[in-house]
Amino acid sequence: MKIGMIGTGNMGKILIEAMLEGNAISPEDLFIYNRTETKALAIKAEYEKINLSTSSLEVARNADLIFLCVKPHDIFSVANSISPSLTANKCVVSITSPINPAQLETVFSCSVARIIPSITNRALAGVSLFSYSNQCTSAWKERLWTLFEKFSTPLEIEDNITRVASDIVSCGPAFFSYLTQRFIEGAVEETEIDSVTATKLASEMLIGLGELLKKEIYTLPTLQEKVNVKGGITGEGLQIMEQNLGDIFNQLFRATQLKFEDDLSSLNHLVSAPKQ
């Protein structure tokens, strides 16, 4: 299978690296294009056998599976430009959450899916969120699932939870990275520990926590119970968190939902693009 990647920014590059390092595809079967050529050239320098394309159209002609890793407002202009080169046996995947597969069907006559990756896929871990168009064939659903299983845990979701699922899977690493950074800064400011040591300890703690959850040794509530010995220090810390966190995560999800609705509204004029 030949795979095309239109857009090699942050997530496009992460997908390329995850696919190659997860042995999901060989470099010679990958065709890439980026509007800013230097980004694509940097990837080509790292993986010499990758095919560097000169246009989105060239990617669409050569690949069986084409990923659109561009900004939401650019999706339909790119889609319309490549649509004439897409035969019915090909598949197009968008990684942007505001545009659903049904909307992409207005442009393409081939199989269509939306797959939202996570930065954790770069470590051959984490979840990838799947949604399919009505015209996506069973064969392509199976091929996509098998491909992403090499470097992630695929999960099919309904359209109505796309934003919140993406918040948890895709935005979550940034949210918890921020919390961890504040955790480290607090330790450094209030005690004699240095930043390097605190960062090392916190990082290893998170890796260990992940392993406990991955191996299903403890659930989140059980883990808190095991560490929080009655009358102990952990309890004092948890009490401070309970007093000060309040509904911060409720506010977070309200804010991301509102931003998502704004994004949807701003894209409404693009969704009616006619099928070529």
pLDDT category, 265, cuts 50, 70, 90?
confident
Residue 267: pLDDT band by 50, 70, 90 thresholds?
Answer: confident
Residues forming beta bridges with residue 187, ordered by sequence position:
none
Taking only the tens place, the pLDDT of each residue in 18-77 is 999 999 999 999 999 999 999 999 999 999 999 999 999 999 999 999 999 999 899 999
Rounded-to-integer distance, Cα 190 and Cα 257, Å: 36
Report pLDDT for 201: 98
pLDDT surpasses 50 at 273: no
Q: Pick from 100, 86, 175: which is nearest to 132 by CA?
A: 100
Task: Give Cα 262 to chain centroid, integer Å.
Answer: 20
Cα-based distances in Å from 248 to 21, 162, 245 = 37, 21, 6
pLDDT at 230: 76
Q: Which residues contact 73 (CB under 8 A, 6 or more apart)?
A: 266, 267, 270
pLDDT on residue 101: 92
For position 266, what pLDDT does the model report? 83
DSSP per position, 202-252: HHHHHHHHHHHHHTTS--HHHHHHHH--TTSHHHHHHHHHHHHHTTHHHHH
Of 264, 87, 233, the C-alpha closest to 162 is 264
- Residue 253 C-alpha from the chain's centroid: 18
Global pTM exceeds 0.95: no
Q: Give the C-alpha separation, 168 to 249, whole Å.
A: 11
| Residue 270 confidence (pLDDT) | 67
* 3.40.50.720, 3.30.70.2190, 3.30.450.20, 3.40.50.1970: CATH of 3-162: 3.40.50.720
Alpha-carbon distance of 15 to 117, in angstroms, equals 8
pLDDT tens, 210-239?
Answer: 999 999 999 999 999 999 887 889 999 999
pLDDT in tens, 85-125: 899 999 999 999 998 999 988 889 899 999 999 999 999 99
The average pLDDT across 238-254 equals 94
CA terminus-to-terminus distance, the chain: 25
pLDDT of residue 276: 41
